[in-house]
Chains A and B, each alone.
Chain A
Amino acid sequence: MDSMLTASISGWWQDFQGDLILNFLVDKRYLFLVNGLKITIQVSVFAILLGMLLGFTLAFFKLSPIKPLQAFASAYINVIRGTPVVTQLLIIYFVIFGSVNISKVLVAVIAFGINSGAYVAEIVRGGILSVDRGQTEAGRSLGLSYKQTMTHIVIPQAVKNIFPALVNEFIVLLKETAIVGYIALEDLTKGADIIRSRTYDPTMPLLSAAIIYFVLTTALSKGMSVIERRLRKGDQN
């Protein structure tokens, strides 16, 4: 009985080692994951930066008293949130940049940045509205302009309030970039899929990709909780 168990465990272990070697070491296939991860991170980081830039701008458009700016921001947000991000990515790649030779990474950054901008805009708008009106009034009554009051008083407090939501948006974005394979960009998911197509073993490469995503998103949300707790300690008022 005992020897049978030992034999089956050692047999499984040998298969596992064989799979590992086949999927990751032969032809340096692990490089598909490493390079894919680099692309995933590159696209996510630059897209969230672009998304924040667009999001903050759109939020101010939406809060501004100028009607055309409001209308533009609302239309932007509605269209982006009302259509799938895959479709947006394909349109930007094949329609907008269809006839130009442009880096796929850049296309992905633009597509996800534009998409994320709509979501960030709503987060930022909510954050600004959540700051007590008395703060704006105090700033204005001291003779600060609207812009100075925003920059020095409202936005610093709003950013503190929306920080968790922004990190969350980044986590969502990071996972959504897994669809860039649609424009044949080799990110983490596509990299894993390429290994699968070479080794005919779907389990190990795809599970590995999933584990890497999971580790990244977990680290991000844990890091966020730590920073959030530190921010909260400073102020209740």
Chain B
Amino acid sequence: MIKINNLHKRFDDLAVLKGINEQVHPGEVVAVIGPSGSGKSTFLRCINLLEVPQEGEILIEGLSITDPKQDINKLRQKVGMVFQQFNLFPHLSVMENITLAPVIAKKMDKKAAETIAFQLLDKVGLRDKANSYPNQLSGGQKQRIAIARALAMEPDIMLFDEPTSALDPEMVGEVLEVIKQLALEGMTMVIVTHEMGFAREVASRVLFMDEGLVVEQGVPAQLFGQPQEARTKAFLSKVLK
């Protein structure tokens, strides 16, 4: 479980997060939507401390990640992250991309890591790409490998930062399909997305963020069907045709 208390983040003088209180329960799929600049990505990046908040507390399985005494590397192993720009390691093969962290950070046996990697490649439908390099893959394939790479650490929670925003339209579906599959398997996930249809279909809860705050939240049917706040209504009327 993730518990977030009074989260504040500023970049110099610009306040990006202005006090967020949230909880994500095991098995929940939380979609975070909102206009660009609303702080969605920053919020997500705070959860694994890629951004260090100035104020507030984040607890993962009861452990405070903002506590400097915590071993942040150990905690991050429990929180997988998928980036908009994939960020695959271009100098490593697909197999090495997936096995690097288990072998280095978890001291897993290389053979065991490769066995897991093949299972994950099957899951994302790319077993035949094990020996390819990232520059030989399409955007959709890169993102599916990035998901497999994050899953190889066997995380409890997966964070997705606009996972389809850098993709050509015809490749969005294959990536969403993989994420949907994870949801069905009960993976706890926080997904920042612009794909409203996907959020509606897959999320168990939707957060609408604007100007550094969670303005409104609820189950998809409610948030998309009967939004209560004026800002939510205004946003949805623009993005839903």
Listed in ascending order, the chain A residues whose CB lies under 8 Å from chain B are 132, 134-135, 137-145, 148, 152-153, 156-157, 160, 234-237
Contact = CB atoms under 8 A, between A and B. Distances in A.
A236 B87 contact: no
Given A141-B81, A144-B101, A234 B91 contact: yes
Nearest to B103: A152
Contacts of A134: 83, 85, 87
Interface string B105-132: 1100000000000000000000000000
Contacts of A237: 88, 90, 134-135
Which are the 10 A-B pairs with shortest beta-carbon distances? A143-B77, A237-B90, A142-B101, A138-B87, A141-B81, A134-B87, A235-B90, A143-B76, A143-B105, A237-B135
Contact of A141 (B76, B90, B104): B76
Query: Which label, helix, strand, loop or mixed, suits the secondary structure of the A interface?
Result: helix
Contacts of B50: 137, 140-141
Nearest to A153: B89
A156 B104 CA distance: 15
A143 B73 contact: yes
B49 to A, nearest CB: 8
A76 to B, nearest CB: 30
A236 B90 CA distance: 8
A143 B133 contact: no
B133 A234 contact: yes
A148 B76 CA distance: 14
B104 A144 contact: yes
Interface of B: 48, 50, 73-77, 79-81, 83, 85, 87-91, 100-101, 104-106, 133-135, 146, 149-150, 153
A145 B73 contact: yes
B73 A160 contact: no
A235 B132 CA distance: 11
Contacts of B146: 138
A160 B90 CA distance: 11
State the main secondary structure of chain B at its contact with A.
mixed
A135 B87 contact: yes
Nearest to A148: B104
A18 B77 CA distance: 77
B62 to A, nearest CB: 18
B76 A142 contact: yes
A132 B100 CA distance: 18
A156 B92 CA distance: 10
Contacts, number: 78
A191 B48 CA distance: 63
Contact of B105 (A132, A142, A156, A236): A142
B166 to A, nearest CB: 11
B113 to A, nearest CB: 12
B73 to A, nearest CB: 5
Contacts of B87: 132, 134-135, 137-138
A57 B8 CA distance: 36
Given A134-B83, A138-B146, A153-B89, 7 more contacts: A138-B81, A139-B89, A139-B101, A140-B50, A140-B73, A142-B77, A145-B105
Contact of B74 (A138, A143, A153): A143
B105 A138 contact: no
B105 A144 contact: yes
A148 B105 contact: yes
B32 to A, nearest CB: 17
A96 B88 CA distance: 49
14 contacts: A135-B89, A137-B50, A139-B101, A142-B80, A143-B76, A143-B153, A144-B101, A144-B104, A157-B90, A234-B133, A235-B133, A235-B135, A236-B135, A237-B135
A32 to B, nearest CB: 46
Nearest to B50: A137
Nearest to A137: B50
A235 B76 CA distance: 28
Contacts of B101: 139, 142-144
Contacts of B77: 142-143
A140 B150 CA distance: 11
| A139, A153, A156, A237 — most chain B CB neighbours (10 Å) | A237
Nearest to A142: B101
Contacts of A235: 90-91, 133-135
B76 A140 contact: yes
A153 B100 CA distance: 10
Contacts of B83: 134, 137-138
